[in-house]
C-alpha cells in the first residue's frame, strides 16, 4: 500500500549566481506546493529535505530538474504517512553543508563513487586494504553505522578537518567515506585527497540510497534522519540494535531529548528509562524548576512564535497573498 506523503532528500553542487533571488523564488514555489522542510541555498548549490503530498513532491522534483543547473540532481525518496516537518525554512548560507571548507569544490575534485550494490559486496568481504569511514557526528553513528566502520568523535561536521590528522595511518589504504545522503562525503572525500590520501571513494547517495537499493544489509542499528522521525529503519536483511538507553543501559534506539531544557541532551532512551526520571536523563535534571512536561514522546516541538511561512518573502505572487 502506497503512503500518501513523500519525504525527499537531495543536494546538488552547482553554481547559483544570485542566491537571495533564487531563495525567494524557490521559497514561493515550495509554498505553492504545500511543502515543508529545510532547504539551504548557497553560491555553491542546493541542499534540502522536504515532505509533502505525493503529487506535490513529484511536481517539485520535476520543477527542480527542469532547471539546467540541477538537471543531474538525485532525489532519495521515502514514503511516509504524513508530513515529516512542521515548518518550511528556505535559507541562504555560506555553504550548503557547514564544513568550513570553502576552498573545496566537489565539482572539480571529489572521491569516486561506490554504488550501493558494490558497497554491499565490500561489506561482505571486508578487504584488509579497505577502510569504511563514517564522517557523521557522534549522535548519528551512536544509533546506527555500517559494520566495522571507523567512526569519529565529532559533534559537528565542521570538526572533521581537525580529526583527519588522526587518520594519517590510513593513507596507504583504500578509504570509502559515507554519510546520510552523500553531501558531506563530497567535501570530506575531497579534503582527504587534499591531505595526501590517494585512494579515496564515497558511498554514492549515502546511507539512504544504500537502504533503498541494497536493503540496508550490514547497517547496524537505525539511520539518524533530520526530520520529525529522528531515526528510520534501514536494514531489512540482518537488522540489529547497537545503541543503549542512557538511563538503564538496555538496548534502545529511541532517540529523545532530556526534558530539562538547559540540558536538552540528545540521547537514546527507552520508555522505561524515560519514565524513571519523567523524561530526564538524570535525577538531577528531573529536579530542575524549568523541566518540561513529559508526554511520553521525548520530543519537544519548538514554539511556533507566530510562525508565518511567508515571512521574508519579498515578492509574493497574487495567488499566494
CB contact at 8 A, 117 and 197: no
Length of the chain: 321
State the cell numbers at 313: 518573502
Q: Report DSSP state, residue 82.
A: S
- The DSSP secondary structure of 149-173, one letter per residue, reads -B----SSGGGHHHHGGGGGGGTTS
Give whole-number Cα distances, 151 to 25, 142, 160, in Å: 39, 9, 11
Number of H helices and E strands in the chain, helices first, is: 9, 15
CA distance 62 to 293: 43
Give the whole-angstrom CA distance, residue 239 versus residue 216: 8
What is 216-260 written as a DSSP string? TTTEEE-EE-SSTT-EE---SSS-----B-TTT-SB---EEE-SS
**Orientation of helix 54-66 relative to helix 19-32, angle to 10°:** 150
Q: Which of 180, 175, 183, 176 is nearest to 212 (CA)?
A: 180
Residue positions annotated with a catalytic role: 179
Q: Are 194 and 104 in contact (CB under 8 A)?
A: yes
Amino acid at each position: 500500500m502506497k503512503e500518501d506523503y513523500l519525504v525527499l532528500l537531495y543536494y546538488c553542487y552547482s553554481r547559483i549566481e544570485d542566491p537571495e533571488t533564487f531563495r525567494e523564488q524557490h521559497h514561493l514555489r515550495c509554498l505553492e506546493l504545500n511543502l515543508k522542510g529545510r532547504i539551504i541555498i548557497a553560491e555553491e548549490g542546493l541542499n534540502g529535505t522536504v515532505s509533502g503530498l505525493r503529487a506535490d513532491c513529484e511536481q517539485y522534483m520535476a520543477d527542480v530538474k527542469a532547471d539546467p543547473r540541477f538537471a543531474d540532481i538525485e532525489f532519495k525518496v521515502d514514503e511516509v504517512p504524513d508530513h515529516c516537518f512542521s515548518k518550511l525554512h528556505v535559507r541562504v548560507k555560506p555553504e550548503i553543508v557547514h564544513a568550513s571548507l570553502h576552498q573545496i569544490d566537489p565539482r572539480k575534485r571529489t572521491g569516486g563513487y561506490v554504488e550501493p550494490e558494490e558497497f554491499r559486496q565490500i561489506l561482505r568481504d571486508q578487504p584488509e586494504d579497505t577502510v569504511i569511514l563514517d564522517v557523521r557526528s557522534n549522535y548519528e553513528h551512536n544509533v546506527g553505522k555500517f559494520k566495522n566502520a571507523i567512526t569519529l568523535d565529532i559533534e559537528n561536521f565542521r570538526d572533521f578537518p581537525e580529526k583527519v590528522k588522526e587518520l594519517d595511518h590510513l593513507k596507504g589504504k583504500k578509504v570509502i567515506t559515507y554519510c546520510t545522503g552523500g553531501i558531506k562525503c563530497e567535501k570530506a572525500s575531497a579534503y582527504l585527497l587534499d591531505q595526501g590520501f590517494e585512494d579515496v571513494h564515497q558511498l554514492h547517495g549515502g546511507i539512504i540510497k544504500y537502504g533503498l537499493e541494497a536493503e540496508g544489509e550490514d547497517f547496524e542499528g537505525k539511520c539518524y534522519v533530520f526530520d520529525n522521525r529522528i531515526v528510520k529503519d534501514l536494514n531489512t536483511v540482518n537488522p540489529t540494535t547497537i545503541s543503549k538507553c542512557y538511563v538503564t543501559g538496555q538496548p534502545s534506539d529511541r532517540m529523545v531529548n532530556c526534558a530539562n531544557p538547559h540540558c536538552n541532551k540528545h540521547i537514546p532512551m527507552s520508555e522505561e528509562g524515560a519514565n524513571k526520571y519523567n523524561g530526564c536523563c538524570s535525577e538531577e535534571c528531573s529536579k530542575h524548576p524549568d523541566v518540561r512536561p513529559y508526554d511520553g514522546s521525548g520530543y519537544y516541538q519548538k514554539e511556533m512564535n507566530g510562525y508565518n511561512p511567508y515571512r521574508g518573502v519579498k515578492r509574493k505572487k497574487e495567488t499566494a497573498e
